[in-house]
Amino acid sequence: MSIVAMNKIKLMGINAHKEKILNALYKTGCVELSETEEFADTFRLPAGDKAGELSAKHDELGRTIEFYNEVIEKSKDKPYYPKNIENSKNLFISYDEFIRSPKLAPIGDGETEKARGFMERLSQIKAERAKLINLGANLSPYLSVDGKFSDFCDTKNTKAFFGTVKKDNVALISEKLSKLEATELNVLSDGQISVILVISYNDYAAAALEILTEYEFAPCPYKFDCSAKEKLAEINADVAGFDLKEEEIYKAVCENASVIKDLKILYDYYGFSLEKETQAENFSCTLSTFILEGFVPKDKIEEVKSAVHMVSDATFIEFSEPDKEENVPTLLKNNFAVRQTEFITDMYSTPNYREKDPNRAVFFFFMLFMGVIMADIGYGVIMIALGLFLAGRIKVDNGTRRLWYNIAIGGIFAILFGVLFNSLFGVSVLPFTLLPSPVPSEGGQTGLMTILLCCLALGVLQIAFGYFMKALNLFKSGDVAGGIFDGLCWVLFFIGFVFASFNFLIDYLMHDAFVVMDEGVKNFFDTAAMPGLIVMLSALFIAAATAGRAEKGFGKVSKGFGAIYGLINIFSDILSYARLFGLMLSGMIIAKTFNDIGTGLFASGIIGYVFGGAVILIGHTFNLAMGVLGAYIHDSRLQYIEFFGKFYTGEGNKFAPIGSDMKYVYVVK
């Protein structure tokens, strides 16, 4: 089973039992709700105040959790950092414990109020600190000036102009002020921004100010009864005081970190309650009853019936087949290995409910290609160990965990091809070699073309299988003619192509010492070459002749030519599989190169062994990391473009039962 068969559910119950029924459906984890149709004597419930209140509490609690998490993250190197904070991650709780979450509401209300106070205080501290730091920065030109700011003031008969100018303007100001009577210039600080004091009798003050303004004089805005140094020391003390106040808040939050677990549970409960209120707006209602509709897996019908009847005996439940036009959600059910590649397919698009699940094929080809690219026993062992270790540290079945499992499974295939190529960290250790290495040996022999053609043959296999999947999807949708002419005809084309070209390719490779062809096999393919050619051309003719069967007039002819012209795209897609060969070859060459460099250093004695070992270790680590990254990216590309492009529709909606959208909590039902 891959895509689980779905049934529609229609349930009628009394309003007094609605909450219990929705909780029961949530407990099963088997029902996705949808909008119901309105009919006579029914209406939709408007959004009530409860939904607004839940939304407000949910949002405020979310901000509180984010604030606490942010503070705790900033306190990682502090002695008060909570040691048991990991206990509030990946929360696995029972259904009964989750349903009893409303008892945590007083804690949630108290903590949100407390967090709001903390945030307001931190905001004030931040603003005051920024203000002081900015003031300290503005005081920097005056630090070398002795005396209090308040000392530089006017007298009864004089005006004092105290402030800053650019250093280049000081001489110009001095020259012009020297022409004024009863005016004196004092340079108090000679920096890039200079501090000057100009004292002038009242009668000449206006003229002095005009000259200063011309040269961008900035009057000092401060009248502190202390010097700049004293004020800066005061500022630094105040900033340190603000730091201590902030530290006290951080410490208080960290000492209260144990409450985060309860807050997260309550947050997801509010989210679940809000979802129930929102979903209820889609129900058809009367004054005393409600009707809900949705989808349920066929094999879970009895479980859903039992769960509902346990909480309410005043219900009517009806199950039916979905209409052909309905958008049915997709639920996948695969074995453990295939399930790990589901997220690779989902990154492209979730399978459509009415098509075949491609994940088994994706699993086989994805792992096969990863094995071909890595093709080393040592790398495969490390991939298995590292993948299983990191996947085991992740308790939640998410994309990251599945990625590591994919790498571990790919390691098994890497070992398989490592045995075939006789490669352990780029070194031949086995007494046999089943496949020729594309890297030239000491005698100059290489299986370069053989391996390249094998990689292209894998491309032929996957693309042919893509057309086979297309045929299955068309048959499933009832389009038998499409399945035959648009799917199976192209499968026959590739089968014929293989038989027609097999001996030609083998003869081309016979100079390779690794290619040995049994005479009986050669005779078989000699005999099959002509029938293969006939099958290939016949399949191409039928595919071209029927390509425009749904068109009218000239469209029938143009579609046929388009199908033949499409061979260019098909063979272009096949050439894309040369990337398997390229990535494999580059990995093998890099491994061999680092081995040669490292072993070459061994001749230098003990130091050579140290540096040589380091070169080999670092080199293989780099090669493994780049190899796995390249394998994942290019392997995915082959699935998405070359393979999916032949048959895959996608655009499905993943099955999302009520209550499945939890952010922090995983309810064990």
pLDDT digits (tens, 9 = 90+) for 569-588: 898 999 999 999 999 999 99
Dist. CA 505–CA 366, nearest whole Å: 26
Residue 563 tokens read as 């199908």
Average pLDDT over residues 84-111: 85
Q: Assess whether 382 and 512 both reside in one domain.
A: yes
| Domain contains 481 | yes
| Domain contains 502 | yes
- Give tens-digit pLDDT for 53-77: 899 999 999 999 999 999 998 888 8
With contact defined as beta carbons under 8 Å apart, do 368 and 347 qualify? no
658 pLDDT band, cuts 50/70/90, is: very high
Residue 511 is predicted with a pLDDT of 58
Out of 186, 219, 252, pick the residue that ends a domain. 219
| Domain contains 416 | yes
Residue 518 is predicted with a pLDDT of 64
Q: Assess whether 504 and 631 both reside in one domain.
A: yes
- If you average pLDDT over each of 92-106, 283-297, 362-376, which comes out highest? 362-376
Name 187's bridge partners.
196
- pLDDT of 26 > 90? The answer is yes
Q: Residue 103's Cα: distance from chain center in Å?
A: 35
Residue 178 is predicted with a pLDDT of 86
Q: How many CA atoms lie within 13 A of 334 on its CB side?
A: 21
Q: Assess whether 431 and 576 both reside in one domain.
A: yes
Average pLDDT over residues 607-631: 92
Dist. CA 647–CA 74, nearest whole Å: 50
- pLDDT of 566 > 90? The answer is no
- In terms of residue numbers, what domain contains 488? 336-646
- pLDDT of 86 > 90? The answer is no
Average pLDDT over residues 654-663: 92
- pLDDT of 443 > 60? The answer is no
CA dihedral defined by 267, 271, 276, 281, rounded to 10 degrees?
A: 140
Q: What is the CATH number of the domain that holds 159?
A: 3.30.70.2750
- Give tens-digit pLDDT for 476-499: 988 999 999 999 999 999 999 988
| Domain contains 615 | yes
Residue 446 is predicted with a pLDDT of 64
Q: Assess whether 519 and 376 both reside in one domain.
A: yes
Measured N-to-C along each axis, helices 578-601 and 448-476 cross at an angle, to the nearest 10 degrees, of: 140
| Domain contains 310 | no
547 pLDDT band, cuts 50/70/90, is: confident
Name the average pLDDT for the chain: 89
Q: Assess whether 349 and 204 both reside in one domain.
A: no
Helix or strand run (H / E) with residue 161: strand 158-166
| Domain contains 278 | no
Residue 509 is predicted with a pLDDT of 63
| Domain contains 619 | yes
Out of 201, 219, 237, pick the residue that ends a domain. 219
- pLDDT of 440 > 70? The answer is no
| Domain contains 373 | yes
More confident residue, 605 or 47: 605
Average pLDDT over residues 634-649: 94
More confident residue, 37 or 336: 336
Q: What's the pTM value of the predicted model, to 2 decimals? A: 0.82
User: What's the number of domains the chain is made of?
Assistant: 2
